[in-house]
């Protein structure tokens, strides 16, 4: 394992953000562009992102990471100092329905990028967006980066495989890779997580007559969730100050009670709303707590800046102004 750099890495002048129109990729692209970095963000060729939603100063390019020729061409044209690799199949349930497609995107797509850097840009930094789900049901909570990888879904397995592939390319070829294990992130614009599910229902119910009923699943659990804007800063901190080859948990290190999150959102509501638990929102397996050890990340000088109550308020306001306003 290489030692820590004697000096922090120089700030990148050119960055390639794969999956740059997804939730994390959009926030990363906007943050880097705001810092004066020349950013190229990618999207799937079959999708045409709205120009009005593209962060200022970001160039959009189509890319299918499973197509090696496309990867070769785009990396050669952009010549990035750093690649933030978010492109992939990002959900657990679809991974059960299409495990082969999930592995093709998440594992083979990562391999194509690593091979391109290995052969043509070996000094470029590569940041891989892995997942806290790689740990599965960890033996210790809070969970540190030395915890064994015990994935329990094709999605988590594909991320764990790509994570280990990145480490192998560091060991075998000296590529400066950084491996994120990202726990819960949330913020305006996300779909499918509990906070946005609650907020979307509240925003819709506020405009309706009684009875206003918000439908929920299991609230008696704790999740390590952080504001996406803090998460993006954490990821950049790792690339600029971290140890090549290492894994870093990207998380708050704070267990947030889902019921308390809902109560806080309801306290912002403009009308009284009743909560009802429904069976179709319950998961068959739902661990009581997810919590990361973030001591490695904090040792780099990162600290969160955004109070979680502010995050929740921003999410609810984003749903109030969303068009069309549709509950998740």
- pLDDT tens digit sequence for 132-159: 999 999 999 999 999 999 999 999 999 9
Residue 301 domain-assigned?
no
Please choose, from the candidates 137, 282, 280, the residue with its C-alpha nearest in 3D space to the C-alpha of residue 220.
282
Q: 130, 231 in Cβ contact below 8 A?
A: no
Q: Are residues 137 and 214 in the same domain?
A: no
Q: What is the mean pLDDT of the chain?
A: 91
- pLDDT tens digit sequence for 3-47: 344 455 567 799 999 999 999 999 999 999 999 999 999 999 987
Residue 218 domain-assigned?
yes
Q: Are residues 178 and 244 in the same domain?
A: yes
- pLDDT tens digit sequence for 294-309: 999 999 999 999 999 9
Q: 181, 156 in Cβ contact below 8 A?
A: no
Res 324 pLDDT > 70: no
Please state, in angstroms and rounded to a whole number, the distance separating the CA atoms of residues 15 and 78: 8
Give residues with Cβ within 8 angstroms of 262, minimum separation 6. 194, 198, 214, 216, 219, 275
Please state, in angstroms and rounded to a whole number, the distance separating the CA atoms of residues 298 and 309: 22
Assign residue 98 the CATH number of its domain: 3.40.50.720
Q: Are residues 272 and 124 in the same domain?
A: no
Q: Picking from 196-200, 208-212, 279-283, which range would have the lowest pLDDT averaged per residue? A: 279-283
Please state, in angstroms and rounded to a whole number, the distance separating the CA atoms of residues 14 and 82: 7
Percent of the chain predicted with pLDDT > 90: 83
DSSP lists the bridge partners of residue 227 as: 186
Count the alpha carbons within 13 Å of 251 in the hemisphere toward its beta carbon: 29
Residue 298 domain-assigned?
no
Measured CA angle at 120 (ends 181, 166), to 5 deg: 20
Assign residue 282 the CATH number of its domain: 3.90.25.10
Q: Are residues 172 and 205 in the same domain?
A: no
Q: Are residues 130 and 259 in the same domain?
A: no
Q: Are residues 208 and 165 in the same domain?
A: no
Please choose, from the candidates 24, 12, 87, the residue with its C-alpha nearest in 3D space to the C-alpha of residue 55.
24
Residue 100 domain-assigned?
yes
Q: What is the pLDDT of residue 285?
A: 47
How far from 150 is each of 98, 132, 177, 279, CA to CA, in Å? 20, 11, 22, 28
For 44-150, where are the E strands, in sequence order?
Answer: 58-62, 82-85, 125-131
Res 311 pLDDT > 70: yes
What does pTM read for this prediction?
Answer: 0.91
Q: What is the pLDDT of residue 3?
A: 38
Please state, in angstroms and rounded to a whole number, the distance separating the CA atoms of residues 63 and 95: 21
Res 123 pLDDT > 60: yes
Residue 6 domain-assigned?
no
Q: Are residues 65 and 207 in the same domain?
A: no
Res 50 pLDDT > 70: no
Q: How confident is the model at residue 182 (pLDDT cuts 50, 70, 90)?
A: very high
Chain centroid to CA 182: 6
Residue 5 domain-assigned?
no
Q: Are residues 34 and 126 in the same domain?
A: yes
Question: Phi then psi for 245, rounded to 5 degrees?
Answer: 90, -15
- pLDDT tens digit sequence for 239-287: 999 999 999 999 999 999 999 999 999 999 999 999 998 766 655 445 6
Q: What is the pLDDT of residue 9?
A: 59
How many domains, in total, are found in the chain?
Answer: 2
Q: Are residues 44 and 171 in the same domain?
A: yes
Q: What is the pLDDT of residue 297?
A: 98
Res 203 pLDDT > 70: yes
For the chain, where are the E strands, in sequence order?
Answer: 14-18, 38-43, 58-62, 82-85, 125-131, 177-182, 184-186, 213-216, 222-227, 247-250, 255-257, 274-277
Q: Are residues 35 and 136 in the same domain?
A: yes
Q: Are residues 34 and 141 in the same domain?
A: yes
Q: Are residues 160 and 195 in the same domain?
A: no
Residue 300 domain-assigned?
no
Q: What is the pLDDT of residue 322?
A: 86
Res 52 pLDDT > 90: no
Per the structure, the complete domain to which residue 261 belongs is given by 188-224+255-288+306-320
> Radius of gyration of the chain from Cα atoms?
20
Residue 1 domain-assigned?
no
């Amino acid at each position: 394992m290489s030692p820590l750099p004697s000096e922090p890495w120089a700030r990148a002048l050119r960055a390639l953000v794969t999956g740059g129109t997804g939730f994390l990729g959009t926030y990363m692209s906007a943050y880097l562009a705001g810092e004066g970095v020349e950013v190229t963000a990618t999207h799937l060729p079959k999708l045409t992102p709205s120009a009005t939603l593209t962060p200022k100063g970001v160039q959009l390019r189509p890319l299918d990471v499973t197509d090696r020729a496309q990867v070769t061409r785009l990396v050669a044209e952009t010549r990035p100092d750093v690649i933030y690799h978010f492109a992939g199949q990002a959900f657990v349930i679809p991974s059960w329905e299409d495990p082969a497609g999930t592995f093709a995107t998440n594992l083979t797509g990562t391999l194509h990028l690593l091979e391109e850097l290995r052969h043509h840009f070996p000094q470029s930094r590569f940041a891989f967006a892995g997942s806290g789900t790689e740990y599965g049901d960890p033996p210790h909570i809070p969970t540190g980066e030395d915890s064994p990888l015990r994935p329990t879904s094709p999605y988590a397995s594909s991320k764990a495989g790509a994570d280990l592939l990145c480490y192998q390319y560091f060991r075998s070829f000296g590529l400066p890779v950084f491996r994120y294990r990202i726990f819960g992130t949330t913020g305006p614009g996300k779909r499918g997580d509990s906070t946005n599910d609650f907020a979307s229902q509240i925003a819709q119910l506020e405009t309706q007559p009684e009875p206003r009923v918000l439908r929920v699943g299991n609230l008696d659990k704790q999740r390590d969730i952080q504001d996406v804007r803090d998460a993006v800063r954490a990821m950049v901190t790792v690339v600029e100050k971290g140890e090549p080859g290492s894994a870093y948990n990207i998380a708050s290190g704070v267990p947030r009670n889902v019921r308390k999150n809902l109560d806080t959102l309801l306290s912002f509501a403009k009308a009284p709303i009743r909560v009802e638990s429904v069976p179709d929102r319950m998961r068959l397996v739902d661990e009581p707590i997810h919590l990361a050890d973030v001591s490695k990340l904090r040792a780099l000088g990162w600290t969160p800046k955004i109070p979680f109550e502010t995050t929740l308020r921003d999410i609810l306001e984003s749903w109030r102004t969303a068009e069309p306003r549709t509950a998740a």
